[in-house]
Amino acid sequence: MEIQGTVADGYERVREAFAANFDRRGERGAAFALYRGGRAVVDLWGGSADGDGRAPADGGTPWAEDTAQLLHSATKGLSSAVLMLLVERGLLELDAPVGDYWPQFKASAKDKVTVRQLLSHQAGLPALDVPLSAARAVDGVSGPRSVAEQRPLWEPGSAHGYHPHTFSWLTGELVHRATGRTLGTVLAEDVAGPLGLDLWIGLPPEQRHRVGRLAAVEPPPAAPGGGLRFRPRREVAEAYADPGSLTRRAFGAVDPAPDENTNAWHRAELPGANGIATARALARCYAALIGDVDGARRLLRPDTLAAATAEQVSGPDRVLIAHTRFGLGFMLHGPASPMTSPAAFGHPGRGGSLGFADPGLGIGVGYVTNGMQPTVVNDPRAQALIRAVRECLADQPLLG
């Protein structure tokens, strides 16, 4: 497999790990980028943009430097950055009831649910009593109406459980009510535009040709002794297999599962699920959250970032059936999402994508793939890349 792009001196092991993903871990088409100290030190891509692994000689489309990819739940980190930008500007207050901005949300015993609880997956709204079709999920009306009418599945603030789909309608409608703009518009005008990012929630039609096509791929066999393969505990596997479990209901809030390769899905705005970006843009965005990047000013003040990444919840997750840690929308380093250090924050996406920053190490990371492996967190390809980054950074001088 021909790997294209560049790595700075001292980061060669990341290129080796990226190539090994194609050789040994089922990769089909992907890109990986790493920023350190506000500059790009790794920018790699390779494989097929078609998602089925066909080589160009066999009719496949090669992954190009500007190929972008659907991020799945890695979108949540970008949306959280937008929410915190609005908090910084005084347009949202973390401890204000969501109903102050969105009166209809007060229905069904939700009048005291706060913005903070909504962002940290404490609102008790991970699933819907009546799932939405794909068409209704993206119509801009049915999703917000459904979560506004939904009764919490636990007392808000008393527990936490990952909101895979409903996070989209909750955050999207909150931003629209507070600003009069959609979350995707705020991201485009106030984040992606100033930083020059190929990154969207709500893909413009003229960018459609750049998006890689998703396809399922077989996960790699487990290496002797365990290797990097993540093995779910028995109770996790049972929760995903049980149609009546909260886990299945949460991930089944859109039913039947949508075709995520369609124009309709790409152009909709689902701030928890359908962001589209290059790995370079994802890494650059996270780098800009923790410092200046290539002369551009950082996105959030240090005090805002500290609030965003302070642990809000830690412990058993009622949906993921694992120990999770969340800040304000950002997933924090932990057993369910190992990053580079306890200081790291970001978000993985179903099937493999990952974006995060580590302020202690001064890095921003972006990984995107069109080869969908059956993982929500702990994808073996992302794990291999993160391990290589750690090894390279151990040999690098500390940032001043």
What is the set of active-site residues?
Answer: 73
CA atoms within 13 A on the CB side of 188: 14
CB neighbourhood size of 371 (10 A): 28
CA dihedral 387, 392, 397, 400 (to 10 degrees): -50
Encoded tokens for 7: 């790595």
CA atoms within 13 A on the CB side of 137: 29
Rg over alpha carbons for the chain, rounded to the nearest Å, is 20
CB neighbourhood size of 103 (10 A): 12
φ and ψ at residue 60, rounded to 5 degrees: -80, 155
Concatenate the DSSP letters of all residues of 329-398 into one string. Answer: SPEESBTTB--SSTT-EEEE-TTS-EEEEETTTTEEEEEEESEE-S-SS--HHHHHHHHHHHHHHHTSPP
What does the DSSP 8-state code read for residue 37? Answer: T
Which residues lie closer than 8 Å to 42 by C-beta, 6 or more apart?
Answer: 5, 6, 7, 8, 11, 14, 15, 32, 33, 34
- The greatest distance separating any two alpha carbons of the chain, rounded to the nearest whole angstrom, comes to 59
Concatenate the DSSP letters of all residues of 200-215 into one string. Answer: ESS--GGGGGGBPPPE
